Structure 1
Amino acid sequence: MSVTAQTATITGIVLDEQNTPLTEVNVSIGSGGTFSDANGFYILELIADVETTITFSHLGHKNVVLEKLVLKTNEAFEFNPVMKTDAIQMDGVTVSPTGEKNTDGITTISKDVIRKIPGANAGVENILKLLPGVSSNNELSTQYSVRGGNYDENLVYVNEIEVYRPFLIRSAQQEGLSFVNTDLVSTVKFSPGGFQAKYGDKLSSVLDITYKNPIDIGAQFEASFLGASAALETVSKNKNFTSVSGIRYRDNSLLVNSQQTKTNLNPIFFDAQTFFTYRFSKKFNLNFLGNISLNDYQNEPLSRKTNFGTLNAPKSLLIKYEGRENNKYATELAAVKANYFLDDNTTLKLISSIFHTSEQERSDIIASYELGEVDSNLGSETVGEITSSKGLGSQFNRARNDLDALIFNLEHKGRNIKNQRVLEWGIKYTHEDIRDQLRESEFIDSVGFSIRPPLPEFVNNQPEEPFDSPLEAYESLIAKNLVKTNRFSAFAQFSDRNLWKDHNIYYNFGFRTHYWKVSGQNVLKTAQVVFSPRAQFAIKPNWEKDMLFRFSAGVYHQPPFYRELRDNIGTIQPNVKAQQSIHFVLGNEYSFNLWNRPFSLSTEAYYKKLNNVNTYTIEDVRIRYLANNNAKAYVYGGELRLNGAFVPGTESWVSIGYLKTEENSDNRGYIARPTDQRLKFAILFQDYIPTIPDVKMYLNLVYNTGVPGGSPSYADPYIFQNRLRDYKRADLGISYIFANESKSYPKNHWLNKFKALNVGFEVFNLFNAQNSITNTWVRDVDSKQQFAVPNFLTSRVLNLRINARF
């Protein structure tokens, strides 16, 4: 007769010192055990009524040992260990005073830093812009360029689910909210290039977000002059169900009203998100990510006055507006992710998502302008006013654009870990259904005559000779596109760690392949395929100094998305090839102690060779491709970031970056690309008053040299190579901490209900720097010369902010 032993269960979430869940923690009992999952969750079955010792071990952390644990039959015991960093060498990986060495070139950003650091568009992207290889010259935008790439070349994942942006947004003040809700974030990882094959097919970067899996019920609320947000965390009694949900509302009126254009603005930016996990068993769990976002941007511009030029030749542009614009962007995302733990070594995943966006632009704006010389005599009664007009005219812009897009993804991913060897694979199907209708026109009138397009078929000699002909828009765009794309992609990669002559080495190699087929109404069916090998190597020498060297190389393709298939007149070009970029990245990490505090110095040099380049222009945040593949380009640069506790108990860093990127179209020679941001300097600094440590100060400083300022419509970009002014910005935040994890209060105290409470103020653009993002091109009637009038961004703004967690 056989006897079956009675069992009990221990479960919980493994955390690090920052209360971030740790993945792949080994939970062992004798010869058996399990691993924590991507959310730090583990579950282990024990023999009941028997003393058991459980050991939690993880690379770079001290073991946590739970001794002589005795559980009753069918008892479910919860244990949430906190693992502390251990500065020792373990199993081929050296751990420094600041944590485990980064062998794959991915930067991990603290969620606490993301939530605390001030910014006009605070959040993950606000911190990314302080990294050396990331550039953004627009504080109203959440979009960013990385190492010479454009806004469309960045991958964003939330819990391995790819997320998308709206298509039609052309101005940063129309953007509203980033997809990533920082109240729900657990970990943030970012790679600026040379990333592994498991990440998708883009040219520049990967932002890998993990939403949290809560261990307790909680709530959070934040409010400021820019909007409000709330988040809720729930956990079921048996711990099988967890969820995080958040809603956000944002109003950019405070920032937009600080610009030189006076408007009646009524923007509504709202979104709601939820992420939940249900554990059916210790082998199977299910995740769901849902998002609904509504951007309703209503704007009635009134007037604008911009002074520009030089001290010797000052000029001014005065504009009076009539009309209004109303743009709406509504998006929905639903995704399901199934995780099956086949055994202690193998994890299988199935991910399905559907994204829908419905967007419309409605605009009727008449602008009457006067361009003139300015009285610069300080003693004059008319100082600063226009004394003589160089140009009078009017401009009528009309838009009736509609877009509806549906994107479906179905993906399988797997992972096998054995003796530190990791094999990962995946296959993905994507279907894109785009319905797009563009109707735009721009009429320009100057001193009684209409300016016709500067094309051969519209040659005339106005106003010297009368010209009797129907009015023609200076620029017009009429197109209707119904496009479908089916994609199949797959990847496989292998990673391992070994010892070589007492040196620790790590290597990873893999490949991706991508097949896509474009079809649609009046679109010739085309199919293409690309293959992308990638590899990484890192070595930790057995030196007294704590250093790591790494090198990565690979071929990166970006198969064209809908916007890249559409040329500048709205026609679909289905034969557009995938842009190709060959990456070479060499990096070093050096960890050391300074002033008895931990610091790390990260340096990287990179070179990218680009082929089949699809040239484009950028106006504000709108990208317009030529859909031509007629250029080649290159990018090279170097970066440095010093990170550490400049002030005890805080994290700060200094970043310096340099890059140069140029393109050569049709062998005409190399000119600067729109993202040629040569020099980048940024500081993130945290401090507190020593005698009043609850008064915290957060400061970020950014200096970027100017990017090319673009060119007028129909103009040759090889002629217009002027640059915008340098971008300089400082944002300051000061807050008082009433309650947090280290400050507890008795039950009868009013602060006892708060897990955290802080109140403070922020000053955006502290030094009131005049930054510009684009130029408005205005014609001088007499000389026919066109002047680049800068479009200035926000000035100094004060914001109040309160944050509470229960």
Structure 2
Amino acid sequence: MKTAKPLLTGLLLLISLSIFAQTAVLRGVILGENNLPIENVNITASTGEGATTNKNGFYKIRIPSETEVTLTFSHVSHKRVEQKFNLKNGSELEYNPVLKVSVVQIAEVVITPETKIENSDVTTIPAQVLRRIKGAQPGVENILKTLPGVNISNELSTQYSVRGGNFDENLVYVNEIEVYRPFLIRSGNQEGLSFVNTDMVANVDFSAGGFQARYGDKLSSVLDITYKKPSKFGVSADLSLLGGSVAVETASTDGKFSSISGIRYRDNSLVLNSLETNGNVEPVFADAQTYLTYRFSDKFHLNFLGNISLNQYNFQPENRQTNFGTVDEPVALLVFYEGQEQTEYQTYFGAFKANYFLNDKTTLKLIGSAYHATEQEYFDILAQYRLGEVNTNIGDENLGEVEFSEGIGSQFTRARNDLDALIFNLEHRGDYNMDDDSNLEWSVKYTREDIRDRLVESEVIDSAGFSIRPPGLTGPNFQPDVPFNGPLTAFQNIRAFNEVQINRLQAFVQYKKTTQIGEHEAYYNIGVRAHNWSVNGSGIEGNNQTVISPRAQFAIKPNWDKDMLFRIAGGLYYQPPFYRELRDSSGVVQPNVKAQKSFHVVLGNEYSFKLWDRPFKLVTEAYYKGLSDVNPYTLENVRIRYRANNSAKAYAYGLDLRLNGEFVPGTESWFSFGYLKTEENINNRGYISRPTDQRLKFGVLFQDYVPNMPDLKMYLNLVYNTGLPGGSPSYADPYDFQFRLRDYRRADLGISYEIVNPEKTYTSNWKKPFRSLSLGIEIYNMFNNQNAITNTWVRDVNSQRQFAIPNFLTPRVFNVRLSARL
């Protein structure tokens, strides 16, 4: 296979138009412990701004936007409070701290944000929650899985599905720059680090559907990440048995330059060695990221985002025993392996973003990025299996071992897969902020995708001395009673070499306005996207297609005694095919694949209230998706194989509920519930469940601390998902097999002690350099539930039965973590 041209991270200088002035507004009321307002509280910002509360305790301060600013609230008779903020251009946030006389503040202070009506369709995840609650999944996905509508049933993977969509239907942005995932990964074991470095995050916004035209062309969700722009020097570090990370923040004294850089290393041996398959495993994942900002003047800012990721997964399996069946008739699968698997992928990503502030109303932006990925997947695995009865005699020295074999067979799998992807983007964005609380935003973007791919895979299955032929072959086959004299044929054999170029031209324009309808506050957003793409390549006839995607959102906040908000969002959403969606199950590229289309409507309600004198919010959303030109696919672990045609139609509908608030003073927790039903009709054969039809979902993120020892904290991360319809053989006709996997149940517990609390002052010399220092333990899968990601199908020659043997995920695992910040 040819190697793609080297990655060009050369300068892509840019200019861009943007929304508001370079400031944001913070307002609120400051109360004492007796719930009375405090006058003459001094509010000072680390960037020099200041304000004072009036006799009613109210204050208002304007601070720089897109910058991390530390605000200090001080009063002669009350304990000082410090809090960090990083607000978007033109945004407003209500922050109401409570100043206490002598009691130590719990956590980082209670924040009571009042969601602006135009952002009501977005879920915001506090950055401190991401950093405090790590979990088995190394990234923001560990928190996403507790949200309604988001389904993750594999703790080894950072892939997630949203409201019936698959892993390829989610957009991810970092500071308005689109980022990409690897292509070849087929198993969660092979995955390393999420692109998003939580040590560098300032803000996380997530939309599960009905999102605005300003976001790209995908069918399911948007994850919008904002990285920090530090205002002073800082260092943070995290070390655990699964790896470690270090992040460094810098800022010049004149405020013109700031940077944040992070290095991460992860070794999943602790979790992978707990799986049923024994062997030598070497999973090494590492990356380095940086985000730089230089303010040449008040009008021109230049930003750079860079990432290098190196990932290797080497595995030499030795044996596996899986016990299943019933208590009365236990059965075991015993497998002996020969061979090894080597998976490696490297990604290099660089992006420049230039902001030109034409005036207080207009900002122009130019974003240029380059992404280069080289991936290889090599393996030769011979698996010889025995299927038999298990010794159940208590006290016998052979208890639990296979005594009588009902079936003996072998399977040989081989792959030599290589992929080289080079993607360039150049985008102009602009914002114009009008005087009447309205805003106009637009963009034009060009993308060039150059993919070079070699796909070579084969599988041979032998059971009791005869070769199992592919199910699609015609002709009689009476094995083993009558010998088969035809040529031996591999059960699966795929060979394809593809060189594909895809050119895309995208544009959008959207208008939004906040207004009054009588005494009620209202907001609407109307936008439209256009996407043109062409597919070309070696041996491929060029094809050119265009789609138009109108979208709209409307929200109203009635002037009622109860704090209620109602909203509706929807539109026509398209997903033009990426390379993986163009490649069919035989590896051949089908350039005429159309964009999948979805009519999407979301009805939402937000009810904010107080309970126990603390803030709570209940968010309810009902949604419906009507999909056409659907590209059917099979899903095995995290690998997606498309049919590369538009032979199906589908639908999805459901209900999502989320209650969040201060169940414990000073901490934020939430409870989620989701109901989903999604089905598809392939070639008019009737509706069946889609691979992501996960009917019920419950998620809990709960934080607590010991009242008499507030530095001792805990978190509990609970997820329950009903089983996916992924329990059938990968080669099976989905209309013949609709078996579901077992329900997914998982509980992760973390307990930590803050040796150095940022809210306290210490006299000990060794503690003074630290802003925070904590030590903790984590218990993953606390109740040791046996969750499964797929089934292995083994044939019993004597009875001609096929057994579904679950491929279990990780059992209970203990981890130790040390976190520090200077």
Q: C-alpha displacement at 1:384, in angstroms?
A: 2.9
Count of residues in Structure 1 that have an aligned counterpart in Structure 2: 747
Name 2:366's counterpart in structure 1: 350
Q: C-alpha displacement at 1:473, in angstroms?
A: 1.1
Q: Which has the higher contact order (CA 8 A, sep 6+)?
A: 2
CA distance in structure 1 between the partners assigned to 2:379 and 2:50 by the alignment: 69
1:639-669 deviation line (CA, Å, top 9, x unaligned): 1111000011111010011100000111111
CA distance in structure 2 between the partners assigned to 1:79 and 1:271 by the alignment: 28
Worse-superposed segment, 693-702 or 462-471? 462-471
- The reply to whether residue 269 of structure 1 matches residue 285 of structure 2 is yes
Which ranges in structure 2 are unaligned for 5 or more consecutive residues? 1-20, 28-44, 74-82, 85-89, 96-111
SS of the aligned residue for 2:317 comes to strand
SS of the aligned residue for 1:259 comes to coil
SS of the aligned residue for 2:142 comes to helix
Q: Counterpart amino acid of 2:565?
A: L
- The reply to whether residue 499 of structure 1 matches residue 516 of structure 2 is yes
Name 1:73's counterpart in structure 2: none
- The reply to whether residue 665 of structure 1 matches residue 662 of structure 2 is no
CA distance in structure 2 between the partners assigned to 1:27 and 1:620 by the alignment: 46
- The reply to whether residue 794 of structure 1 matches residue 793 of structure 2 is no
Name 2:24's counterpart in structure 1: 25
1:246-288 deviation line (CA, Å, top 9, x unaligned): 0000000000111111120111101000000000000000000
CA distance in structure 1 between the partners assigned to 2:134 and 2:542 by the alignment: 49
1:33-60 deviation line (CA, Å, top 9, x unaligned): xxxxxxxx9999xxxxxxx99999xxxx
SS of the aligned residue for 1:751 comes to coil
Q: C-alpha displacement at 1:377, in angstroms?
A: 5.2
Name 2:98's counterpart in structure 1: none
Q: Counterpart amino acid of 2:114?
A: G
- Relative distance call for 1:678 and 1:268 in structure 2 (3 A) is same
Q: Pick from 502, 506, 512: which aligns with 2:529?
A: 512
- Relative distance call for 1:62 and 1:141 in structure 2 (3 A) is farther
SS of the aligned residue for 1:234 comes to strand
Name 1:560's counterpart in structure 2: 577
Name 1:422's counterpart in structure 2: 439
Q: C-alpha displacement at 1:768, in angstroms?
A: 0.3
Q: Counterpart amino acid of 1:25?
A: A
Name 1:64's counterpart in structure 2: 61
Q: C-alpha displacement at 1:79, in angstroms?
A: 8.8
Q: Pick from 618, 623, 626: which aligns with 1:609?
A: 626
Name 1:766's counterpart in structure 2: 782
CA distance in structure 2 between the partners assigned to 1:230 and 1:650 by the alignment: 26
Q: C-alpha displacement at 1:371, in angstroms?
A: 1.1
Which residues of 2 match residues 127-166 of structure 1 at below 5 A?
127-166=143-182
SS of the aligned residue for 2:621 comes to strand
Q: C-alpha displacement at 1:448, in angstroms?
A: 1.8
CA distance in structure 1 between the partners assigned to 2:489 and 2:285 by the alignment: 37
SS of the aligned residue for 1:25 comes to strand
Which residues of 2 match residues 274-285 of structure 1 at below 5 A?
274-285=290-301
Q: Pick from 449, 453, 462: which aligns with 1:436?
A: 453
Which ranges in structure 1 are unaligned for 5 or more consecutive residues? 1-21, 29-40, 45-51, 67-77, 86-90
CA distance in structure 2 between the partners assigned to 1:64 and 1:411 by the alignment: 34
Q: C-alpha displacement at 1:446, in angstroms?
A: 1.4
Report if the CA contact (8 A) 2:26-2:93 is conserved. no
SS of the aligned residue for 1:183 comes to helix
Which residues of 2 match residues 574-653 of structure 1 at below 5 A?
574-653=591-670
Between the aligned residues of both structures, percent identity stands at 62
Report if the CA contact (8 A) 1:495-1:507 is conserved. yes
Q: C-alpha displacement at 1:311, in angstroms?
A: 3.1
Report if the CA contact (8 A) 1:121-1:139 is conserved. yes
CA distance in structure 1 between the partners assigned to 2:427 and 2:226 by the alignment: 18
Q: Counterpart amino acid of 1:99?
A: E
Name 1:191's counterpart in structure 2: 207
- Relative distance call for 1:604 and 1:23 in structure 2 (3 A) is farther
- Relative distance call for 1:185 and 1:80 in structure 2 (3 A) is closer
Q: Pick from 710, 720, 736: which aligns with 1:719?
A: 736
Report if the CA contact (8 A) 1:452-1:458 is conserved. no
Name 1:363's counterpart in structure 2: 379
CA distance in structure 2 between the partners assigned to 1:92 and 1:217 by the alignment: 26
Q: C-alpha displacement at 1:181, in angstroms?
A: 0.3
Q: Counterpart amino acid of 2:24?
A: V
Report if the CA contact (8 A) 1:766-1:796 is conserved. yes
1:535-565 deviation line (CA, Å, top 9, x unaligned): 0000000000001001001110000000000
Q: Counterpart amino acid of 1:799?
A: N
Report if the CA contact (8 A) 2:46-2:70 is conserved. no
Report if the CA contact (8 A) 1:710-1:717 is conserved. no
Which residues of 2 match residues 356-505 of structure 1 at below 5 A?
356-376=372-392, 378=394, 382-419=398-435, 420-457=437-474, 459-505=476-522
CA distance in structure 2 between the partners assigned to 1:79 and 1:576 by the alignment: 48
Q: C-alpha displacement at 1:142, in angstroms?
A: 0.6
Q: Counterpart amino acid of 2:656?
A: E
Q: C-alpha displacement at 1:27, in angstroms?
A: 11
CA distance in structure 2 between the partners assigned to 1:63 and 1:714 by the alignment: 63
Worse-superposed segment, 414-423 or 128-137? 414-423
- Relative distance call for 1:303 and 1:340 in structure 2 (3 A) is same
Report if the CA contact (8 A) 2:249-2:258 is conserved. yes
Q: Counterpart amino acid of 2:713?
A: K
User: TM (normalized to structure 1)?
Assistant: 0.89
SS of the aligned residue for 1:164 comes to coil
Question: Considering only aligned residues, what root-mean-square deviation do their CA atoms show, in Å?
Answer: 2.5
CA distance in structure 1 between the partners assigned to 2:310 and 2:397 by the alignment: 49
Report if the CA contact (8 A) 1:103-1:550 is conserved. no
Q: Counterpart amino acid of 1:224?
A: S
CA distance in structure 2 between the partners assigned to 1:112 and 1:182 by the alignment: 9
- The reply to whether residue 100 of structure 1 matches residue 115 of structure 2 is yes
Report if the CA contact (8 A) 1:565-1:572 is conserved. yes
- Relative distance call for 1:246 and 1:752 in structure 2 (3 A) is same
Q: Counterpart amino acid of 2:216?
A: G
